[in-house]
Each structure stands twice: as structure tokens, then as C-alpha cells.
């Protein structure tokens, strides 16, 4: 006689990002979302890669403390321009300044993901580094783009999944969804390791 499969643990995405939510929906697993309420201020001298890893894990642990039986995903992305972190611009002026800094440059988008289950003691974190080469943008191109897409909630001030792709010369990555905000190949690997069954 076949045993019926045991029910899966609740999956919680510790993020309010609509981009991460849309990406996680691709896996066709039921999940909830909740805000992680973590201070995202970089520590003095903290490298972008270290910042992304620390914040992804902190977000997952913060949400897991409130949902100890659940499998929790935390994620963070930091745009890395020659070792300097570029966060979400928040305003048109800051987005303009970021894009002017990045024109003609290669920016590494450090996208970290952590999976934690407090009940089982499971905790893993991984990082996908996406190299993005920006075209040598004119001020007029930057202004037109920002007025058209208003990407003020995106690290690096550009949405590659939208009109922002027109700003770029190249994208190099082994996990293509990482640039949008959640590296799904790595996420799937960790969810399986945490005991979830994926299609």
C-alpha cells in the first residue's frame, strides 16, 4: 500500500517586493509573503557581496522567528559599482545620479537568497553575481528612460525585465532571474534541500 505524501511545510517569502513575488509564483508552490522588518543599513566598510548575503540571511531569520514551522525565503540585492554599493534610488534625482555613474561601466548585481526553517534548524544562503554592462548613456537617454519607467524601487535604477534592457550592452549570469531579484535556480536547490517538493 502506498503511503500518502506528508503535507509540505508552509512556504513564506520574507519580502514585500512585487518582483520577487512574481518570480516565486513561477514555481507554482503556495506561499505567503510578509515584511521582514530588517535594518538594511550597510555596516562601515561592508562590501556589496557581504551586505547582500548578510541581509538575505537576516531577513529569512527575522521572518522565521515569527513562523518557526515554515520554510522561509529571504533575499537581498545590491548593485556593486567597483566595490561601492548602490541601493534603491528612491527619487528621480538619485536615479539620475546612479545611471550617470554607471554609464559605460560594468556593474555587478549581487543577489543573495537564504532559506531558513527554524523548526528543523535548516539554514542556507547563496549568492548569484550578475555582470551588467551599461551603454555609454547620454543625459537625454537617462531622462527619457526614468520618465518612462520610474524604476526608483530598483537597485541600480533600471528594470532589465522592462524598458531598462535598452540601456544595456550585455548581461552575464548563470541564474537569469537573479537580476530581477530572486535567483530561482539557487532558490529551487535550497527549497529541495529544506524538504519541499517542487514540480
For 38, residues 6+ apart whose C-beta sits below 8 A from its C-beta are 55, 58, 59, 62
pLDDT in tens, 35-58: 999 999 999 999 999 999 999 999
Q: How many domains, in total, are found in the chain?
A: 1
Task: Classify residue 87: in a domain, yes or no.
Answer: yes
- Rounded-to-integer distance, Cα 35 and Cα 21, Å: 12
8 Å CB contact between 33 and 25: no
In the predicted model, what is the mean pLDDT of residues 186-192?
A: 97
Mean pLDDT for the chain?
93
| pLDDT value of residue 89 | 93
- Rounded-to-integer distance, Cα 109 and Cα 129, Å: 6
Q: Is pLDDT above 90 for 168?
A: yes
User: Domain limits at 187?
Assistant: 11-193
| pLDDT value of residue 87 | 83
**Residues noted as catalytic:** 76
pLDDT in tens, 3-40: 434 568 999 999 999 999 999 999 999 999 999 999 99
Task: Specify the CATH number for the domain of residue 28.
Answer: 3.90.950.10
Provide the pairing of β-strand 11-13 with 71-81. Answer: parallel
Q: SS3 of 142, please?
A: helix
Amino acid at each position: 500500500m502506498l503511503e500518502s505524501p506528508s503535507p509540505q511545510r508552509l512556504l513564506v517569502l520574507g519580502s514585500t517586493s512585487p518582483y520577487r513575488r512574481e518570480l516565486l509564483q513561477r514555481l507554482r508552490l503556495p506561499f505567503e509573503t510578509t515584511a521582514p522588518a530588517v535594518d538594511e543599513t550597510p555596516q562601515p566598510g561592508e562590501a556589496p557581496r557581504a551586505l547582500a548575503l548578510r541581509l538575505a540571511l537576516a531577513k529569512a531569520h527575522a521572518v522565521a522567528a515569527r513562523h518557526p514551522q515554515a520554510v522561509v525565503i529571504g533575499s537581498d540585492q545590491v548593485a556593486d559599482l567597483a566595490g561601492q554599493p548602490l541601493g534603491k534610488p528612491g527619487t528621480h534625482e538619485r536615479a539620475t545620479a546612479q545611471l550617470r555613474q554607471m554609464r559605460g561601466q560594468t556593474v555587478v548585481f549581487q543577489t543573495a537568497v537564504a532559506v531558513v526553517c527554524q523548526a528543523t534548524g535548516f539554514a542556507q544562503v547563496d549568492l548569484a553575481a550578475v555582470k551588467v554592462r551599461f551603454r555609454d548613456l547620454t543625459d537625454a537617454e537617462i531622462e527619457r528612460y526614468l520618465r518612462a519607467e520610474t524604476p526608483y524601487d530598483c537597485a541600480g535604477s533600471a528594470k532589465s525585465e522592462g524598458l531598462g534592457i535598452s540601456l544595456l550592452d550585455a548581461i552575464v549570469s548563470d541564474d537569469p532571474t537573479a537580476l530581477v531579484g530572486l535567483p530561482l535556480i539557487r532558490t529551487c536547490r535550497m527549497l529541495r534541500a529544506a524538504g519541499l517538493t517542487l514540480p
